[in-house]
Structure 1
Amino acid sequence: MGLTSNATLWTTAAAALLLFAGTVWQWPRLAGRGWRAVTGRVGLLLATQVALFAAVGLAANQAFGFYASWADLFGKENDQGVVVDHAEDGRPTGPLRVVDTRRLAGGGQTSTSGQIQQVAVAGRTTGINSPAFVYLPPEYFDPQQRTRTFPAAVILTGYPGTAKALVDKLEYPRTARELAKAGRMEPTILVMLRPTVAPPRDTECVDIPGGPQTESFFAKDLPEAVAAHYRVNKKPGSRWGVIGNSTGGYCALKLAMHHPDVFAAGAGLSPYYTAPSDPTTGDLFHGDKTRRAEADLRWFIKHRPAPDTSLLVTSSKVGESDYKPTMKFIDMVKATKKTRISSIILESGGHNFNTWRREIPATLEWVSGRLSSP
């Protein structure tokens, strides 16, 4: 049974319930002071607690999409092989392979609801392989619009996160479709993946000396691969958007600030502003003080030329630990008088999917308004 399957969750929950009932039933028989009785009580309590915590952990993983499989959980995820497709004239169309396709949940045909494609992307310059989901709006399949190109945006999860959660839990494709139908955003291609491109390591979208070149993958390889495979807007001056939550939010802001020639807009939902250093990240900079400083977005906005891009940050007055740092970051960006800054500040809201779902519609509309129309 898979890590995220309902069968696994209900089996574990049933085991916890049965162990609890068994503990209550057997307790009088194990009331003695002998080693058998003590061992029995300890064993029943331990088994019940383990089953209970496992059930709660599985439920939390299903709700928030931390890990996609048992291999992902234990850090043994295997890299996917990638096939390079070729056009009829023999030129490579880019290192991207479509693995599976499905319609938008609750929708009709692709011509009315769009399509979600599961893809594998291979970085041409970085050698990084990463799975992703691509949402193609229904207009992409309209025969009368077969020459139309579309704006594109990268959507990033937090750490560890799963790309599937962006589709099923945070519902980016459904929200984008509803906004487009209502005329509140342009039909847009969404490329959804997690920033953890070298699992289980948290690379924080950094080009690690001697390690994964994560920032270059997102800023160069990913846009090139997608643009070679799909009808992405390529007119002069057209740039992408990038959105993320938590770790993905930090990455989104950094990518837009470091690469304004690629990203016209970056939105961080509940972001932080500097790369952490902990057991999940390892040594990200290997003593390179310049790289470390530039990974601090507040240092960057103060000591580097202000990037010609638009930024959006979100937080909550109650429930988010980043509220004060976010307000300080807003003031620092405003002082540049070149980089544009916007914000969504809720009265209350935690660091969770429910809060981000409240912010996503306005964020998508904001990003769309800053991308070049085809």
Structure 2
Amino acid sequence: MMGLTSNNVVIMAVVAALLLFTATIWLWPRLAGRGVTAVVGRVGMLAATQVAVFAAFGLFANQSFGFYGSWADLFGAENEMGVVVDHDTPGGRVKVTESRKLNVSGGSSPETGGRIDKVTFRGQVSRIASPAYVYLPPEYFQPRYSERRFPAALVLTGYPGTTEALINGLKYPQKSQKLVKEGRMQPTILVMMRPTVAPPRDTECMDVPGGPQTETFFTEDVPKAVSEHYRAGTQARSWGVIGNSTGGYCALKMAMRHPDAFSTAVGLSPYYKAPIDPTTGDLFGGSRQLERENDLMWRLGHKPAPPVSLLVSSSERGEKNYRATMRFVAKVQDLNRRGEPIRISSMILGTGGHNFNTWKREVSPALEWMSTRLHAD
């Protein structure tokens, strides 16, 4: 495959940079003259080498951090992420546009490697349509599990994020398949999406007054669509939500506000209050009360504690959310000591920035933790 994030593209860019660098060193003595040809030759060789080196570094960084998921995304030609207002409701809630095997050892068939479906969800309540990838574990296709409904996890990127980065960067399906194979996780359906359903606006998973009903889409439309199309559980105890950065805030908030949808949530490097900036616009319609209700710290002190299990992550050095995370953990612990049903766990690294390299270290432990708290129907 020659996609933007593929290993082949990165390797070709690195090889090209090395070859041009070597050629520049080798040919430099021949281009040492003062004539126009020699000067143009030196400039051309230097320019080509620098472009190749920058391209190689850029492609490697993009593969590591998931800035762009495809060539179309890089060049601004991606038009698949828009919001569709569905004025009528013909057809199903899920449209599968592509299926592919998981690139893992022994993944030649769905029964051994699982399958990834590229789908579009059409929300009948929110009127939002958005693409996603659905990972179905190998057990989903095995005869002995044919009557089983599997637990499911909604997996969210940060903002703006690319859904492909959850597969190629953080490798959620690959790590899930490995954990199940090792007996450390139960087979789980992963519904991988980005929270940006109204690009370029960052809705912070809010039902924006007069705007996109993002919270409704994720807490009502998506679980219902998945459960109707796939053999996924229908109860909150079968559903978890996990995300990084903006996706982490969304995960915690949606579980706390909608325990009837998600019983478990993981926030990797989350924050605890929605920002207001040029990317978000006015999320609350001027309502101070609505703003407070989406402030997770405020909720812990002013709203009944929901019966959910939460996991938050941070780093002692490198993460700006460390102190806020420890305050959040302490508040939940205090509620728990008073007999409230909310539960909290934490994953604190010694060092780690707000980036994919840090989240890669946290995905497997988070999936394993979540799996112990989800139940198959």
Shorter-normalised TM range: 0.7 to 0.9
Q: Is 2:353 aligned against 1:356?
A: no
Contact between 2:263 and 2:309, CA under 8 Å: does it hold in 1?
Answer: yes
Match of 2:87 in 1: none
Q: Is 2:349 aligned against 1:346?
A: yes
Report 1:1-374 matches (<5 A): 3-4=4-5, 7=9, 56-69=57-70, 71-73=72-74, 77-79=78-80, 94-105=92-103, 106-108=105-107, 109-234=109-234, 238-337=237-336, 338=340, 339-374=342-377
Q: Alpha-carbon deviation of 1:53?
A: 5.7
Q: Alpha-carbon deviation of 1:98?
A: 1.3
Contact between 2:224 and 2:234, CA under 8 Å: does it hold in 1?
Answer: no
Q: Alpha-carbon deviation of 1:48?
A: 8.8
Contact between 2:67 and 2:162, CA under 8 Å: does it hold in 1?
Answer: yes
Secondary structure at 2:263 match in 1: strand
Q: TM-score, normalised by structure 1?
A: 0.83
Q: Alpha-carbon deviation of 1:181?
A: 2.1
**Distance in 2, Cα, partners of 1:104 & 1:167:** 10
Aligned AA (2:375): S
User: Would the alpha carbon gap of residues 290 and 239 (structure 1) be closer, same or farther in structure 2, given more than 3 Å must change?
Assistant: farther
Q: Alpha-carbon deviation of 1:372?
A: 1.7
Q: Alpha-carbon deviation of 1:311?
A: 0.6
**Distance in 2, Cα, partners of 1:365 & 1:297:** 25
Q: Alpha-carbon deviation of 1:72?
A: 3.4
Secondary structure at 1:370 match in 2: coil
Q: Alpha-carbon deviation of 1:44?
A: 11
User: Would the alpha carbon gap of residues 76 and 297 (structure 1) be closer, same or farther in structure 2, given more than 3 Å must change?
Assistant: farther
CA RMSD, Structure 1 to Structure 2 (Å): 3.4
Listed one character per residue, the Cα deviations across residues 259-298 of structure 1 (whole Å, up to 9, x for unaligned) are 1111000000111111112222222222121221122111
Contact between 1:95 and 1:124, CA under 8 Å: does it hold in 2?
Answer: yes
Match of 1:34 in 2: none
Q: Alpha-carbon deviation of 1:223?
A: 0.5
Q: Alpha-carbon deviation of 1:94?
A: 3.9
Q: Alpha-carbon deviation of 1:242?
A: 0.3
Q: TM-score, normalised by structure 2?
A: 0.83
Q: Alpha-carbon deviation of 1:251?
A: 0.8
Aligned AA (1:310): S
**Distance in 1, Cα, partners of 2:365 & 2:12:** 36
User: Would the alpha carbon gap of residues 340 and 158 (structure 1) be closer, same or farther in structure 2, given more than 3 Å must change?
Assistant: same
Contact between 1:184 and 1:365, CA under 8 Å: does it hold in 2?
Answer: yes
Identity %: 58
Q: Alpha-carbon deviation of 1:68?
A: 2.2
Q: Give unmatched runs, 5+ long, in structure 2.
A: 84-89
**Distance in 1, Cα, partners of 2:74 & 2:127:** 23
Secondary structure at 1:345 match in 2: strand
Q: Alpha-carbon deviation of 1:180?
A: 1.6
Q: Alpha-carbon deviation of 1:155?
A: 0.6
Aligned AA (2:351): S
Q: Alpha-carbon deviation of 1:145?
A: 2.1
Listed one character per residue, the Cα deviations across residues 325-364 of structure 1 (whole Å, up to 9, x for unaligned) are 1001101111222210000111112222222122112111
Aligned AA (1:274): K
Contact between 2:82 and 2:199, CA under 8 Å: does it hold in 1?
Answer: no
Q: Give unmatched runs, 5+ long, in structure 1.
A: 31-36, 83-91
Aligned AA (1:205): C
**Distance in 2, Cα, partners of 1:45 & 1:295:** 53
Contact between 2:82 and 2:197, CA under 8 Å: does it hold in 1?
Answer: no
**Distance in 1, Cα, partners of 2:127 & 2:19:** 48
Listed one character per residue, the Cα deviations across residues 232-277 of structure 1 (whole Å, up to 9, x for unaligned) are 1236x63410000111111111111111111000000111111112
Listed one character per residue, the Cα deviations across residues 74-93 of structure 1 (whole Å, up to 9, x for unaligned) are 665324799xxxxxxxxx88
